[in-house]
Amino acid sequence: MKYKTILITGGAGFVGSNLAVYLKNKWPDAHIICFDNLSRKGSELNLPRLAAASIKFIKGDVCHVDELLALQSIDLLIDCAAEPSVLASYANPEKTIATNLEGTANSLQLTKRDGADIIFLSTSRVYPIDPLNAIEIVEHATRFDWKESLNENGASYKGISETFTTDGFNTVYGESKLKSEELILNYLKENNTKGVITRFGVIAGPWQMGKIDQGIIGFWIAQHILGGNLQYIGYNGSGKQVRDVLHIEDVCDLVAYQVEHLDKLNGQTFNAGGARDVSVSLFELTQLVRKVTGVTKEIGSQMQEREGDVCIYLTDNTKITTATGWRPKRDIHQVISDTYQWIIDHKDQLEHVLK
């Protein structure tokens, strides 16, 4: 691995902290710096883990370019700093734009200064809502699904591929990430640095500070353990809406591959997710969580959909698997049991964050 100093912005967050620990274990000689303003509630709980792994932490804000440019020279930047909630972008679009778009633009100033490469964590939310919700749906006993014959415009029974349109309303969150992607691709060309973009579906696992509007898998499990109300929102209040789910360790496997093979992957944009094999409806999630926790909770229903919601999202991993050989290794049971065990092991600390 050629990179001596790796900066992870948002490095105290769910993805950033897990990646930092994973990469440090894999490449102990690498100097890894996590940069984070600790705005996500619970991010501070990751600091002892980072320190124990000999990872440097710097408190700072990607919205303040001077704080980024005050950092030492870096060789690779992994951009994990974000306001990652769609609903938060409805409430405060300016903050989402500042954090996600301006923050990435500021980070690019640093990569330009140092001739550093960049790995960008984007989102399936770049794909617009109306075309996704226009895909014909069939209703099964425990979930909604697409027709097996679906195969049009980048959408198939397998999932959504990179050729699906990005034109249309995709929320300020989705747009902030899409515009960041475009900026990055332009910087790569103009500055002769390397980079790769990955649009992830739902990611879950230990150290995700799940809340009602972001990190739904962790939130759902935590409410079973710690108490709190849960509701199936929208889609007839049935809980049949579907997401694919990627275990955080599968994300780390993929990013580590990208770190080692940036020359080959340079300038490309990929989708990556749990795909059909690791997908779940909320209703199915409830049944699985009941088994693991031994807790049966009453789940309420709300008929009205939430703003910016989509009924089904599944990733077509064909492009990323063809290019890298990577595919998800952990199933939904492992996502749930690993997250459950983490909450149990850190219950006292997590009670004030996850409840």
Ligand X SMILES: NC(=O)c1ccc[n+]([C@@H]2O[C@H](COP(=O)([O-])OP(=O)(O)OC[C@H]3O[C@@H](n4cnc5c(N)ncnc54)[C@H](O)[C@@H]3O)[C@@H](O)[C@H]2O)c1
Residues that bind ligand X (CB under 6 A): 10, 12-16, 36-40, 43, 61-63, 80-84, 99, 103, 121, 123, 200, 202-203
Nearest to 194 by CA among 102, 264, 101, 113: 264
Could you give the C-alpha distances from 306 to 74, 235, 263, 321, in angstroms and in order? 41, 10, 41, 33
Cβ at position 164, least distance to ligand X in Å: 16
Residue with smallest beta-carbon separation from ligand X: 13
Nearer to ligand X, 80 or 172 (CB): 80
Cβ at position 287, least distance to ligand X in Å: 22
Return d(Cα 355, Cα 224) in angstroms, integer: 10
Q: How many CB atoms lie within 10 A of CB 135?
A: 17
Cβ at position 14, least distance to ligand X in Å: 3
Return d(Cα 95, Cα 107) in angstroms, integer: 16
Nearer to ligand X, 151 or 223 (CB): 223
Cβ at position 30, least distance to ligand X in Å: 20
Cβ at position 218, least distance to ligand X in Å: 9
The DSSP 8-state label assigned to residue 239 in this structure reads: -
Cβ at position 146, least distance to ligand X in Å: 21
Return d(Cα 261, Cα 253) in angstroms, integer: 12
Nearer to ligand X, 38 or 288 (CB): 38
Nearer to ligand X, 99 or 279 (CB): 99
Cβ at position 152, least distance to ligand X in Å: 25
Nearer to ligand X, 139 or 277 (CB): 277
Nearer to ligand X, 10 or 195 (CB): 10
Q: List phi, psi (to 5°) of 160.
A: -95, 130
Return d(Cα 34, Cα 187) in angstroms, integer: 23
Nearer to ligand X, 98 or 323 (CB): 98
Return d(Cα 316, Cα 153) in angstroms, integer: 13
Cβ at position 252, least distance to ligand X in Å: 12
Q: How many CB atoms lie within 10 A of CB 70?
A: 11
Query: If 0-12 CB within 10 Å is exposed, 13-18 middle and 19+ buried, where does residue 55 land?
Result: buried
The DSSP 8-state label assigned to residue 141 in this structure reads: S
- Collapsing DSSP to helix, strand or coil, 36 comes out as strand
Nearer to ligand X, 139 or 307 (CB): 307
Return d(Cα 84, Cα 14) in angstroms, integer: 11
Return d(Cα 57, Cα 47) in angstroms, integer: 7
